[in-house]
Chain A
Amino acid sequence: GQQLNQSPQSMFIQEGEDVSMNCTSSSIFNTWLWYKQDPGEGPVLLIALYKAGELTSNGRLTAQFGITRKDSFLNISASIPSDVGIYFCAGARGNKLVFGAGTILRVKS
């Protein structure tokens, strides 16, 4: 089935550093979404993007919907220990979501 290529697979960064991750696909999506999953819990929506080129912020998080509609990135500024978790991108088209494999973020305090 179709998949999104999400990178990096994992990151181990120093507290206070900025983080960047991205997703690419060979398919066009109408909506790009970024989720965070904490251990033992379900994914929680962080940011939703609806238009090509759209740049949206949510606190220290910034995400962009690529112009080609085939990619998106998520930036986290000034990371803190509670940012640890798995971050998923998802592309939506019609009534289905396709998820990336996730980026595991670990933060050294």
Chain B
Amino acid sequence: NAGVTQTPKFQVLKTGQSMTLQCAQDMNHEYMSWYRQDPGMGLRLIHYSVGAGITDQGEVPNGYNVSRSTTEDFPLRLLSAAPSQTSVYFCASSFDRGTGNTIYFGEGSWLTVV
């Protein structure tokens, strides 16, 4: 019973490098989303998807791309990493449109950009 799986758990990048944070869920959830967590800021929505082939921007989308080619996977791409993107990233999924009663979070990906 894997739930929401994120990889990698930890990553250090140099400024300007690109990378992809992987997220997969095995619960057949339609709704998936990416958040970043910064001290004193709570969790802020980066991008979300309401189903395969559909993505939309959240509160802080700049510098990130997403795609949803399958129901299971929702990767987050950093095109050219910046120190401001040092954060903890959480992927989440739910049956419905994020009303929260069935939202599941991954364990987080700690990203440091130097």
Contacts and interface: CB of A to CB of B under 8 A. Distances in A.
Interface residues of A, number: 27
Interface string B18-52: 00000000000001000100001111110010100
Given A43-B105, A44-B105, A96-B48, A88 B100 contact: no
Given A3-B42, A40-B107, A42-B106, A48 B98 contact: no
A42 B108 CA distance: 6
B100 A31 contact: yes
B97 interface: yes
Contacts, number: 66
Interface in B35-79: 35, 40-45, 48, 50, 58-60
Given A88-B42, A88-B43, A96 B98 contact: yes
B42 A102 contact: yes
Residue among B42, B44, B99, B108 having the largest count of chain A Cβ atoms under 10 Å = B42
A1 B44 contact: yes
Interface in A53-109: 88, 90, 92, 94-97, 99-102
Contact of B48 (A1, A42, A95, A99): A95
A6 interface: yes
B107 A95 contact: no
Given A1-B60, A40-B107, 12 more contacts: A6-B42, A31-B100, A33-B101, A48-B100, A48-B101, A88-B42, A95-B31, A95-B50, A95-B98, A96-B48, A96-B98, A97-B98
Interface of A: 1, 3-4, 6, 9, 30-31, 33, 40-45, 48, 50, 88, 90, 92, 94-97, 99-102
